[in-house]
Amino acid sequence: MTKPNRILMTGAAGIIGQQIRDGLRELATHVRLSDLADPGPAGPGEEIVPCDLTDTPALPGLVRDCDAILHFGGVSTENTAELIHRVNIDGVYHLYEAARKEGVKRILFASSNHAIGFHTRETRLTASTPVRPDSNYGVSKAYGEALASLYWDKYGIETLIVRIGSCFPEPKDRRMMATWMSAGDMLRLIGCMLDAPRLGCPIVYGVSNNDECWWDNSETAYLGWKPQDSSARFAHLFENDPPEDPKDPAVIYQGGGFAKAGHFED
């Protein structure tokens, strides 16, 4: 594909948005940045369009004239069921509806490892593995994946579903040594998404080339994405951590603490 004229990134002020923002300028002529929080001033080739995902009438204007949407916005961790439903379920539905009506044909949906968090760590997962959410947040991501599938089958809107592991500047704990994804590998994946002549609606595990990994992306190898970074260089950060308890639900399940935690509102 030719270089997109304009792409929209929601959640521009979030952890992932801040890490990849500068690199997006290499992938599109114009980058529209949106968030409720202030992402800072616009740089060259950027425009800032604040928008609340629950403000349904504003969404068509947000996506208008965009060739692609990178949807990183929404509630990014466990929270009340009401808030997650309003933002991550209703909000993503209305975003897809705005995209359909405005003719946007390609979306990246930031799903999460928490959509499959109740699979055990010794279980190797592929794109065909059924969802097994570990939280209300994980359920909202499973919903988004199903919605993306519907809008591809029924309306021809292509979506790259990325089950993101842990996209931080560096791993925060031993578990993230297996789930970590670098900003560089995220940008390379976005580049593959934008360049693919035919995308479809694939599920990709957003993880770098780590020594330990629970996920297999071979079913979506047609995208040509090959992560180049590894968490190995951070191993020294956890050398003195105590041994993990093999009976701890946070160790048994891929979702870690999300799988172990009780109901958020109790």
- Tokens of residue 120, six digits: 């055990």
The dihedral of CA 74, 78, 80, 82: what is its sign? positive
Q: Which of 93, 96, 137, 222 is catalytic?
A: 137
262 CB burial (10 A radius; 0-12, 13-18, 19+)? exposed
- The strands making up 6-10's β-sheet, listed across from edge to edge, are 46-48, 30-34, 6-10, 68-71, 106-112, 158-164, 203-206
Q: Is 137 noted as a catalytic residue in this protein?
A: yes
The span from the CA of 72 to the CA of 69, in Å, is 9
Residues with Cβ within 8 Å of residue 238, at least 6 apart in sequence: 171, 173, 174, 177
CA angle (217 as vertex; 212, 220 as ends), nearest 5 = 170
User: How far is residue 42 from each of residues 50, 64, 71, 220, 228, measured CA to CA in Å?
Assistant: 12, 19, 19, 35, 30
- Whether 138 contacts 115, CB under 8 Å: yes
User: How far is residue 54 from each of residues 35, 62, 263, measured CA to CA in Å?
Assistant: 12, 12, 24
Look at residues 20, 95, 100 and name the one whose alpha carbon lies nearest to residue 62. Answer: 95
224 CB burial (10 A radius; 0-12, 13-18, 19+)? exposed
Look at residues 260, 263, 261 and name the one whose alpha carbon lies nearest to residue 81. Answer: 263
Residues catalogued as catalytic: 137
